[in-house]
Amino acid sequence: MSDNFRRNTELRMFHSILEINFGQRVVVTGLGIVSPLGVGVHHVWQRLLDGKTGTVPLLGDDYKDIPCKVAAFVQRGNDPGCLDRHLEDADFKKMSLTSIYALIAANEALKDAKWCPVSTDALEKTGVAVGTGMVDLMDIVTTGNKLHHSGYSKISPFFVPRILSNMPAGHIAIKYGFKGPNHSVSTACATGLHAIGDAYNFIKNKYASVMVCGSSEAVISPLSIAGFCRMRALSTHFNSKPEEASRPFDSERDGFVMGEGAGILVLESLDHAIERGAKIYAEILGYGLSGDAYHITSPGNGAFRSMRQALSLSNIDTSQIGYINAHATSTPLGDSIELKAIHELFKEHSEILTVSSTKGATGHLLGAAGSVEAIFTILACYSESIPPNINLKCLDSEWPVNVAGNHCETWPHQVKEKRIALTNSFGFGGTNASLVFSNF
């Protein structure tokens, strides 16, 4: 009997005991990313740790009357880590950019997981849960103008499929033949974490053995920038210094920077991953969600309850958390409320764990934010490196919470035995999500 066979047999027996007591365990075996820091997990992660940013000026007459002049686009070009290298098969006629980003990230995640099933059984046990926060408004405006000026015959038959929010999930399932659950989530800026959390529950409840999950968003346009600007949600004070505009927790923060991208994960039941000898990045320990029932845009107290539920369902004590990837978008109100919720839940341990928001580097990817930040949280658990709070120069907090500086940090030594982290996403309408990951 080989050592590898014996080890896998022992792991399966151990897992069977745990499953009887705690239910199906779920692990992460593949990661894929498209972001303003680039395309490809390794490339993006290194740039994040190195303190790079993806925010650039908004150029052109279409933006001249809009107060915000910065955004975080996915980098174009043919250099390593740039988007154009991945667009060979992109069909812009049939698909939105949101779907294209999702397909690129899914391709990387599936290759990373080495999951390419061909049997009917395996395809039927593989599902997709990918969401998006909002559709491309300019696609709708352009098509509406075409109908008004040129008539019915000029409307593309692909217009409706391009703007359906479930189409990123649909395109992934169609491309790879996945016939398990086909699910889409649209919960504003909490979309990504809700999609991953739902996929986690699909596996725990045995609707699938493998789930491809996450979120995608590509809606930067004059109309979307103008709309968020009218809400006074976007940064306007750093138009001449775009790389400094997104600055979570900093005393000079004045609004978020709109970004775009996609984050896709491959989740598996632990026994399925062990059976095929998959590399395991992390385990999902818990998923919490809540509603504020307070205001359409201003945050309420749901952050506290979402985090508390995620920890409760994972049987994790607050003292075991080493890192929190915060939702903090660089808005004056939201960042402060999240730090308050963290302190209220973690109490004195909030001075030991480390908190950072990666939006200083990427901007706010709206519906895609949660899944991209989940990947960053997983990599922090996997590597022991905690991403910095880029552009944090003067911390604005009345709460004794250990907020990371603007350089990469190592995992807190007080909680290093098991690296457990939490990531948050909160959306307009008062919808909240939290996920707990640990190294495996």
Residues annotated as catalytic are 189, 327, 364
> How does DSSP assign 312-349, residue by residue?
HHTT--GGGEEEEE----S-HHHHHHHHHHHHHHHGGG
Q: List, in order, residues 6 or more apart from 3 with CB less than 8 Å away.
A: none
- Residue 213 backbone dihedrals phi, psi, to 5 degrees: -145, 160
Q: List, in order, residues 6 or more apart from 413 with CB less than 8 Å away.
A: none
User: How distant, in Å, are the alpha carbons of 206, 260, 329, 353 from that of 365?
Assistant: 31, 5, 10, 25
User: How distant, in Å, are the alpha carbons of 125, 199, 212, 277 from that of 271?
Assistant: 14, 16, 17, 10
Q: Which residues pair with 392 in a beta bridge?
A: none
**Distance, C-alpha 25 to centroid of its chain:** 21
Q: Which residues pair with 283 in a beta bridge?
A: 27, 438
Kindly report the three-state secondary structure assignment for every residue of 103-138.
HHHHHHHHHHHCCCCCCHHHHHCEEEEEECCCCCHH
- Distance, CA of 106 to CA of 130 (rounded, Å): 10
